[in-house]
Structure 1
Amino acid sequence: MKTAPADKPLPVVEKPFWLRFEFQVRRFGFVLLLLIVGAALAGLFSKGYLSDSRLTNADGTLSLHYEKFNRLLSDADMKIIAVSSGGKRDRIILGSEFMESFRIDNLQPQPDKMYSRNGKLIIEYENPQAGVPQTMWLSLTPMKAGFIKSTVAVNDGQETTFRQLIYP
């Protein structure tokens, strides 16, 4: 018994426009992926070269080391170096926007006194040595996304403003 040949299917019709479109989308997507990975490695989204920032006030009594880019609810570190004026105490004042945007998880060394006045956090260290830099490390958690403009001052001196971008 002889079988009848099966019906041959029609060949797939490929349209050159859609083939070129798919190729361009893949190429653009690959380049975009490489750019995102490169930006992440460079520190555009958190710790890294682009994010690392140092700031010193005009009279040199305050130096701040922080990350310009952070992620919401992830760990962030900040280092504040204050040069003592030789009074009875050093006061480091963190502005109200800072207090609304960050939660302080750890503060080293522990201050002698810490309180809030007019929405600002005041951290006091007793009997500092004149002209000796004192370093304070803060471990923070960003609690608010967006552009954050914060201030820090030492001993009622001029406020130093710094900006950070917190990604959601």
Structure 2
Amino acid sequence: MFGSGPLSAASVGDNATLVAHYQRFVRHQGQGELVVKVAPNEAAEGRVEFWLTTEFLGEIDLQGISPEPDEVRSAGDRQIFVFLVDDPTCPLEVSISYFPNGLGRVSGGIGLVDGPDFSFNQLSYP
């Protein structure tokens, strides 16, 4: 059940807009990964913008984002990540690596700016 097996793998979102893949269970001080896939044609004016809740970002030690966003800005309880795209007909895939800060439940939200939003939960265990 714990670890990176099939019972741990989870996704939120919908294939028409945005999907986030993550592990339901992640070891405390073990590396977690959130893979965000934004569907083709979700770019506006050559930009894809999605957000994560500050609640989630406050519960993790962010290690890296690949590709790196061109801009990051705050908007209330959200951090918006902006990516410039050359071809808006191609999907965008972003990998976010992190370590959980504590033990227990880690809650978060993700969504497209001016689009749908989704909630997710992880359990950080010893």
- Under a length normalisation based on structure 2, what TM-score does the superposition of the two structures give? 0.87
Which among 60, 64, 72 is matched to residue 16 of structure 2?
60
Q: Does 2:89 match 1:151? A: no
Cα distance in structure 1, aligned partners of 2:55 and 2:86: 28
Distance 1:55 1:87 in 2: 22
Q: Which amino acid aligns with 1:78?
A: L
Choose between structure 1 and 2: higher helix proportion: 1
Amino acid paired to 1:117: A
- Does residue 114 of structure 1 match 2:44? no
CA distance in 2, matches of 1:86, 1:92: 10
Separation of aligned partners in 1, 2:122 and 2:99: 13
> Which string of whole-angstrom CA distances, capped at 9 and with x for unpartnered residues, describes residues 98-141 of structure 1?
11111210110011111223232111012453342100001111
- In structure 2, how many angstroms separate the alpha carbons of the residues matched to 1:96 and 1:151? 9
Distance in 1 (alpha carbons) for counterparts of 2:85 and 2:91: 13
Letter in 2 for 1:165: L
SS of match in other structure, 2:87: coil
User: Quick check: which one's strand share is greater?
Assistant: 2
Unmatched tracts of structure 2, length 5 or more: none
Deviation at 1:86, TM superposition (A): 3.4
Report the Cα distance in structure 2 between the residues aligned to 1:80 and 1:107, rounded to whole angstroms: 10
Give the TM-score of the pair, scaled to structure 1.
Answer: 0.67
Equivalences for 1:1-168 in 2 at 5 Å?
A: 44-57=1-14, 60-83=16-39, 84-88=41-45, 89-127=47-85, 129-168=87-126
Q: What is the alpha-carbon root mean square deviation over aligned residues? A: 1.7
110-119 or 71-80, which deviates more: 110-119
The answer for unaligned runs of 5 or more in structure 1 is 1-43
1:55-110: per-residue Cα shift (whole Å, max 9, x none)?
233x7200111100011121111110012423121111001221111121011001
Provide runs of 4+ in structure 1 moved above 4 Å: none
What is the distance in 1 between the residues matched to 2:43 and 2:83?
Answer: 12
* Residues 101/128 of structure 1: CA separation in 2 closer, same or farther (3 Å cut): farther
Task: Give the counterpart letter for 2:2 in structure 1.
Answer: F
How many Å apart are 1:54 and its aligned residue? 2.3
